[in-house]
Amino acid sequence: MHSFDVVIIGAGAAGLFCAGVAGQLGLKVLVLDHSEKVAEKIRISGGGRCNFTNREASPAQFLSENPHFCRSALSRYTPQDFIELLQKHQVPFHEKHKGQLFCDRSAEDIINLLLAECAAGGVERWQPCSVKNVRSAATGDASFDSGYQIDSDRGLIKATQVVISTGGLSIPKIGATDFGYRIASQFGLRLVEPRAALVPLTFDGAGWAAYAQLAGLALPVQIETNPADATPKQRKKSVVFSEDLLFTHRGLSGPAVLQISSFWREGQPVRINLAPGTDLNATLLKAKNQSRKLIANELGALVPSRLADAWVGDEPALQRPISDAPDKALQTLAARLADWQLTPTGTEGYKKAEVTTGGVDTRDLSSQSMESTQPGLYFIGEVVDVTGWLGGYNFQWAWASGFACAQAMAAKKAGLTG
């Protein structure tokens, strides 16, 4: 039998970071993962350059059934803390818009940093290594008297504490599974229903046919989603994102749509302003008094010309010089562009989702330590019902939750041996 203070199941961002911190705090740590490759999600993130945090990270950019749960961990390990770790390892990075930080060279720099931190803490890592089951003496297993036993395909392991950092269901081709949810359920913990998030939205073929020709077109927009019967007061409180939108053959993508997808629910419309910052109605009516150009040409100066042509379409009232157009037709055109409402039929699902919302219910976890109501069993990272916006926030949650967990486990061991 192999014996460790801590076994961490899942060698992704949260698991590796937690392992490195815990090891350097004096714990004997083993990391297991069923995949042969380490931290594959880091490797493919940010176009291969890993958007590893966001300078502006705060609880306001996270979704959860309990939005205050993430506050403690985020306050104790900040973006600046991770930046200092990068500087220690001489990893060059740069900032894009809205506080997003990326590696200059490659996401491999983050992976190598995490592995170096693990090595500094004497962490053992077994990959590939599948876990067959996890048992706890506290739940009445009479075959051992304390802690946990883990049956793995490399033998039996004994651990005082176990950390689950196996992520969500997103991107199954790189090894995502429901393992973490199954372990939570096994030990009686509650789950918030998982959903694909940061994911493109899709529309039915016939209804989308008029827009499929715009595939590849990108433009800045404002986007929000509300219940179809939302009151003005509800709309005022809704989350609005100002980002780029991308038309695809099957629907909509781009940062704006990925952001709103985390908030969208089946049956709800999305509302899109295709020309934010422009008073389309006033601009078109002014052009009517000054121009003899076709409406599509005038509109093409305000939005991409392909979009202008599609919006004018075959409507007779719009197939004319703008000076000849009825005011009402221009007003209707402006209103449609400024408040385009359409209802997605679904999403591209977990195969294209960057993250999974929902997960282990935070009511059954300590916000200070990430320990569950099952003593000695911890959950960190994406497997928990805490999901960040697009832009580096989910990695910051991985670092912060992993740090809180490692600190707590070290304190617990010190308390037991002190």
201-347: CATH number: 2.40.30.10
Give percent of the chain with pLDDT exceeding 90.
89
Distance CA 262, CA 390 (A): 10
The pTM for the full model equals 0.94
Residue position matching structure tokens 């940062």: 255
The answer to whether the bond into 321 is cis (omega within 30° of 0) is no
Q: What is the CATH number of domain 2-195+357-417?
A: 3.50.50.60
Asked if pLDDT for residue 229 goes beyond 80, the answer is: no
pLDDT of residue 164: 98
Write the DSSP symbol of residue 263: T
DSSP assignment string, 389-410? PTTTHHHHHHHHHHHHHHHHHH
Question: What residue ranges of the chain are covered by domains with CATH 3.50.50.60?
Answer: 2-195+357-417
**Overall average pLDDT of the 201-217 stretch:** 92
In the prediction, which pLDDT does 53 show? 98
Q: What average pLDDT does the segment 180-202 reach?
A: 98
> Chain-wide mean pLDDT for the chain?
95
Confidence of residue 232 (pLDDT cuts 50, 70, 90): confident
Regarding beta strands 155-164 and 377-379, do their DSSP bridges make them parallel or antiparallel, or are they unpaired? parallel
Q: 19-33 pLDDT, tens per residue?
A: 999 999 999 999 999
Start-end ranges of CATH 2.40.30.10 in the chain? 201-347
The one-letter code for the residue type at 192 is: V
Nearest to 250 by CA among 199, 310, 306, 208: 208
Give CA–CA dist 184/343, Å, rounded: 35
> Residue 53's Cα: distance from chain center in Å?
12
